A and B are shown apart, each in its own frame.
Chain A
C-alpha cells in the first residue's frame, strides 16, 4: 500500500534557527513529489514539485530535495511568517495525490 509519512508532526523553532522537515514515501511508481504550505483555515498553497532523485528546488528560505525514499524541506533562517503546516504528497499519475499528515511549524520571534 502506498504511504507517505511526515516527521516530525510538530516543530518549534526560534527565528533564525534552521531545520529540516522529512517526508518518507513508499510508492510503486513515483510520478512526482509535491510540497504544499497550508495556513489555518485556508487551502494548501503549492510550493514545489520534484520528479527525480537528486533534484533540488529553492524558493526564498525553503529548499526541497528528493531521494529514492524520502524528501526533505530545508528551512534556512526561518521567520515567524514561515509558521504553517507543511504537507508532502506523492503522485502516481492519474491526478491522484497521496498526502502525509503534515508537519506543523511554529517559528517564534
Chain B
C-alpha cells in the first residue's frame, strides 16, 4: 500500500535533538492526521488537518509541532523529546474531516526511539 508514505521509517534521537517526520498522501484526500501508538495502549489521535487548517489538537505537548503546507503533505517537528515519547507515529488521511465518518487510511508509521 503506497497511498500514504512516511519517512523515515525508523528514527533514534537524543533528548536535545530536533528532527522531523514526513508524510505524503497520494490519495487525493483533503484531511490528514497524526496518531501515536505506544506499547500496550490504543492508538491515540494527536492532530487533525482539514484543507491545511488544523482542526484538532488533542492536548499534545508543545514539543510536538505539526505543519501542513498543503493537503498532500504533513510534517511532525520534534524537539526536546522525552524517552516516554518513544512510540510508533502514524500518519493517516481521509477524504475529509467533517461530516460522516470518512474512512481513514494509514501509512506504515515512523518508529521513534528517544534516548
Contact = CB atoms under 8 A, between A and B. Distances in A.
A43 B106 contact: yes
B90 A95 contact: no
A101 B40 CA distance: 7
B100 A32 contact: yes
Interface residues of A, number: 27
A94 B48 contact: yes
B106 A44 contact: yes
B107 A95 contact: no
A45 B42 contact: no
A95 B108 contact: no
B103 A99 contact: no
Interface string A23-55: 000000001101010000111111001010000
B45 interface: yes
Contacts, number: 75
A96 interface: yes
Contacts of B109: 41-43
A99 to B, nearest CB: 4
Interface in B75-106: 90, 94, 96-106
Nearest to B100: A31
B103 A46 contact: yes
Given A31-B101, A95-B48, A44 B43 contact: yes
Contacts of A91: 101
A87 B104 CA distance: 13
A87 B43 contact: yes
Interface in A71-102: 87, 89, 91-102
Interface of B: 1, 4, 6, 31, 33, 40-45, 48, 50, 55-56, 90, 94, 96-109, 111
Interface of A: 4, 31-32, 34, 36, 41-46, 49, 51, 87, 89, 91-102
